[in-house]
Amino acid sequence: MLAVLHEQVKQWKQPIVGTFAVGKNAPFKVLVSTVLSLRTKDKTTEEASHRLFEAADTPYAMLKLTTHQIEKLVFPVGFYRTKARNILGICKVLIEKFDGAVPSDLETLLTFKGVGRKTANLVVTVGYGKPGICVDTHVHRISNRWGLVKTKMPDETEEVLREILPTRFWIEYNDLLVCFGQNLCQPVSPFCSRCPLRELCPRIGVTTSR
């Protein structure tokens, strides 16, 4: 199924956070853009991230901005005021405890305010290329539809996937399923009639489709 998706996703736009995983300060940009992406559409996240990074693309530069300046730069991302405060808080800790470098291990990243498992895993996998499984709403939903897991919450899904999914698939799993979930395997009425996996998918929990 993943082999099929490898070919399928070539026609779709890459998840936005991955576009910040190249060049200078990539882990920091992945961290901040992921914080901005929570409860926000990709297009809004992309535009807000570019505006913010034009003004400041390192923790040191970010701390020269006020909370209000960051709010204006990232608006209209969801919860932009809270995210602006969290970004400044993260930058302060990065400088005080890590000499401005973003940690590459999951447990340390989870100690930052505003950083949950999805964000931490994206930094580890996309920012550093280390093994990890990022589970967002698409990964959680599709893994259950496939019958690969039977879970109620994303954290549970991650735990099960870590046990059953070969490590070589961990990093790519999120990008493949996010693209698939945004374009075909949507939450309500997925496009099963034109899905390349329709013969393999048990469609667990799907009551209506197109």
Q: Which of 41, 57, 92, 136 is catalytic?
A: 136
- The string of DSSP letters for 58-82 reads SHHHHTTS-HHHHHHHHTTSTTHHH
Alpha-carbon distance of 28 to 49, in angstroms, equals 12
Residue spans in the chain of domains classed CATH 1.10.340.30 = 16-127
Which of 20, 54, 202 is closest to 122 using CA atoms?
20
Mean pLDDT of all residues in 150-175: 96
Q: How confident is the model at residue 32 (pLDDT cuts 50, 70, 90)?
A: very high
Q: Which CATH class is domain 16-127?
A: mainly alpha
Q: How confident is the model at residue 101 (pLDDT cuts 50, 70, 90)?
A: very high
Averaged confidence pLDDT in the chain = 95
- The string of DSSP letters for the chain reads -HHHHHHHGGGSPPPGGGGGSSSTTHHHHHHHHHHHHTTS-HHHHHHHHHHHHHH--SHHHHTTS-HHHHHHHHTTSTTHHHHHHHHHHHHHHHHHHHTTPPP-SHHHHTTSTT--HHHHHHIIIIIT--------HHHHHHHHHTTS---SSHHHHHHHHHHHS-GGGHHHHHHHHHHHHHHTS-SSS--GGG-TTTTT---TT-----
Q: Is pLDDT of 18 > 90? A: no
pLDDT at 63: 97
Mean pLDDT of all residues in 132-160: 96
Active site residue 41: no
Topology annotation, domain 133-194: Endonuclease Iii, domain 2 (1.10.1670)
| Segment 38-90, tens digit of pLDDT | 989 999 999 999 999 999 999 999 999 999 999 999 999 999 999 999 999 99
Active site residue 155: no
| Segment 167-194, tens digit of pLDDT | 999 999 999 999 999 999 999 999 999 9
Q: Which of 64, 118, 130, 152 is catalytic?
A: 118
pLDDT at 116: 94
Alpha-carbon distance of 2 to 210, in angstroms, equals 22
Residue spans in the chain of domains classed CATH 1.10.1670.10 = 133-194
Which of 4, 6, 12 is closest to 171 using CA atoms?
6
